[in-house]
Structure formats: C-alpha cells, structure tokens
Amino acid sequence: MQVNKSLAVALGSLAVLGAAIGWRVMGQSGDASDTELVTEDGVPLLDRLEADARANPDDAVKWQELAFALFSAGEFDRAAQAYETATQIDAGSPTLWAALGEARVMASQTDPMPAAAVTAFEKALALDAGEPRARYFLAVRKDLSKDHAGAISDWLALLADTPPGAPWETNLVRTIQQVGAINQIEVESRIAEAAGTRDLLPAEAMAAGAQAQRGPSQQQMAAAAALSPSQQQEMAEGMVARLAARLENEPDDVNGWIMLMRSYQQLGQTGEARRSRDRAISANPQAKQQISEAAKALEIR
C-alpha cells in the first residue's frame, strides 16, 4: 500500500506516541521477553493470566490484565479479543474501549485505521471526552485522510490537556512538529501556546495523593527515572491496574481509592478517575466527605 510522507509519519507516530500512551510496536526491541515471563511456580505468565481470566469470567479487571499482557507480547488479535470481553463486562469504562481500539489497530494487517477501531475510540470518547488515547488515534485518522491541519489541531488540543511531564508529552510534541514540517504548517508558536495553557495540579491535590498511600521507595524512583518514556508509562499503567484489581477485593481501603483516583487523573484518564470516586463512595458511604474532598482537591468533577 502506497502512503505519502505525512501519512507515514502519522503511522510512525503510533510507534512513538502510541507506545507512550500504552501500546508498543511490533518488532520493538524487548517485546519478545514478555512472552518468556513466568510466575514464581514456573507457569508462563500469559498462561496464568488467561487461566485467572477464564476462572473469573465476569471480572473485567482479570480480562484487562490478560489483554494488557497479550498486547505487550505482540499478540494483538488475542489482546483485542480479551479487551472485547472486558468491555462486555464493564461497558462503562472509557479506558477499556480506548485500549480495545488500539488493539484492533495493531491487529489489522491491511487497514491502518479499521472501522471497528474507530467505533471503539468513539465509544471511549462518548464516555469520557478527554480520553487521551482515543483522542490521539482519532487525530491520526484525520491525518490518514489527508486532513493534516485538522489532525494537528486535535493533537494540539490534546497537548493542552496533557498533564505536564506526562510520559507521552515529548513524543506528542515531536509528532506535531514532524507532521507540521512535512505539510508546511507552522506549529511552533501553537505548541508553545498549547503548552502554556496548562497548570500543574494544585499543591493540595498532590498532598492529598501523598497522604493516601505510601509512595515508591528511592530505589523505585531511581529505577523509573532510568526507563524510557514508554516504559515509564507502561510501568505506571501496570501499577494502576494492580491497584484497581486489589481494590476490587479490598473495597474498604479508602486511602487506596484516593490513590487510584490520583493515579488516573495523572494519567489523563479523567473518566476513570470519576468512576473510581463514585465506586469508592458506594463502597464506603461513611467516608463520603473524605473521598469527595480528595476528589475536589484533585479537580475530579
């Protein structure tokens, strides 16, 4: 299939930005090692995760964990199937729908933006208009259709809403710059304007998160700093998924819920942050004021 230079960059952006938001490119170094991971008792990790998911057919988190692992291992068709199951169980999760769309893109051998993926991204945005992964890919869709100016505008809007320092921030800027250069569209002043509209989370929000749960150790921080942006994001999403899974079994952990809210907010997943707030209150009505105040400090509305 012939593609013009701008379209090729847009697809290349999937390798750059997409990895930072959650997906990794086929053939990227290090992917194969994921399939070799084993549990402490010697069982291949993917086998264990699949067994856990099938043993808990109504647990969306189990299917999400399996899908994430399959995706990381480059098994995109199977990942898409697992995400489909997760969305059937939890149809109100914008993150699951966005991840499903991403897996469908990667699983497609001919169409760079299959209709089924677009449907999933649109569903994610219907649930949460700010879902970053869906916004990015639908902007790519515009670029693929030669609406380069529209794609750049959408990416700039995403940049304006991206938490400062997010792992995908640098790659998003690079995407805008590259597509702008190829199509002779001025972007530097617009990038500066978009980045300048953002505010860091207020100090009280950070304090609320810090009080919610003990943070990472100095060793963990040092290890994270040595990772690439995409690896940092993958580590963050994995930690958040594990925290969400734990709270399914320990719903009375109010501080854990507040940590989950903060984590989703910092990942730009505001819809999931709101869902976590509501689920926390439902599970802990006696702590409604504490949870509501933490959500307000985190600017979760």
Phi/psi at 131 (5° precision): -55, 115
Cα(85)–Cα(93) distance, rounded to whole angstroms?
12
User: Has residue 152 got a pLDDT over 80?
Assistant: yes
- Which structural domain, as residue segments, surrounds residue 244? 203-297
Are residues 126 and 267 located together in one domain of the fold?
Answer: no
Q: Whose CA is closest to 14, among 174, 160, 122, 158?
A: 174
183 φ, ψ (degrees, to nearest 5): -105, 10
Report phi then psi at 111, rounded to 5: -95, 120
34 and 161 share one domain: yes
Q: Are 107 and 45 in the same domain?
A: yes
142 and 209 share a domain? no
The mean pLDDT of 21-38, rounded to a whole number, is 39
Which of 143, 177, 196 is the endpoint of a domain?
A: 196
CA–CA distance, 185 with 35 (Å, rounded to integer): 42
Dump the DSSP string for the chain: ----HHHHHHHHHIIIIIHHHT---TT-TTGGGGGG-B-TTS-BHHHHHHHHHHHSTT-HHHHHHHHHHHHHTT-HHHHHHHHHHHHHH-TT-HHHHHHHHHHHHHH-SS-SS-HHHHHHHHHHHHH-TT-HHHHHHHHHHHHHTT-HHHHHHHHHHHHHHSPTT-TTHHHHHHHHHHHHHHTT---HHHHHHHHHT--PPPHHHHHHHHHHS----HHHHHHHHTS-HHHHHHHHHHHHHHHHHHHHH-TT-HHHHHHHHHHHHHTT-HHHHHHHHHHHHHH-GGGHHHHHHHHHHTT--
Contact 183, 153 (CB under 8 A): no
Q: Are residues 133 and 273 in the same domain?
A: no
Residue bearing the bigger pLDDT, 138 or 219: 138
Mean of pLDDT values over 26-55: 64
Q: Band of the pLDDT at 24, cuts 50, 70, 90? A: very low
pLDDT at 243: 81
Q: How far apart are CA 235 and CA 227, in angstroms?
A: 9
72 and 123 co-located in one domain: yes
Q: What is the CATH number of the domain that holds 184?
A: 1.25.40.10
Pair (47, 168) in one structural domain: yes
Longest dimension (CA), the chain: 61
- Amino acid letter, residue 120: A
Q: What is the pLDDT of residues 188-210, one digit of tens each?
A: 999 999 988 775 433 333 343 33
The more confident residue out of 39 and 213 is: 39
Q: Are residues 163 and 288 in the same domain?
A: no
Averaged pLDDT, 53-77? 90
Q: What is the mean pLDDT of the chain?
A: 77
- Mark whether 191 and 247 lie in a shared domain: no
How many structural domains are present in the chain?
2
Give me the pLDDT at residue 39, please: 56
Q: How confident is the model at residue 246 (pLDDT cuts 50, 70, 90)?
A: confident
Together in a domain, 29 and 96: yes
- Cα–Cα distance between 166 and 136 in angstroms, integer? 14
Last residue within a domain, chosen from 196, 218, 244: 196
Neighbours of 26 (CB within 10 A): 10
Domain boundary among 152, 167, 196: 196
Specify whether 139 is located in the same domain as 82.
yes
State whether 160 and 220 are in the same domain.
no
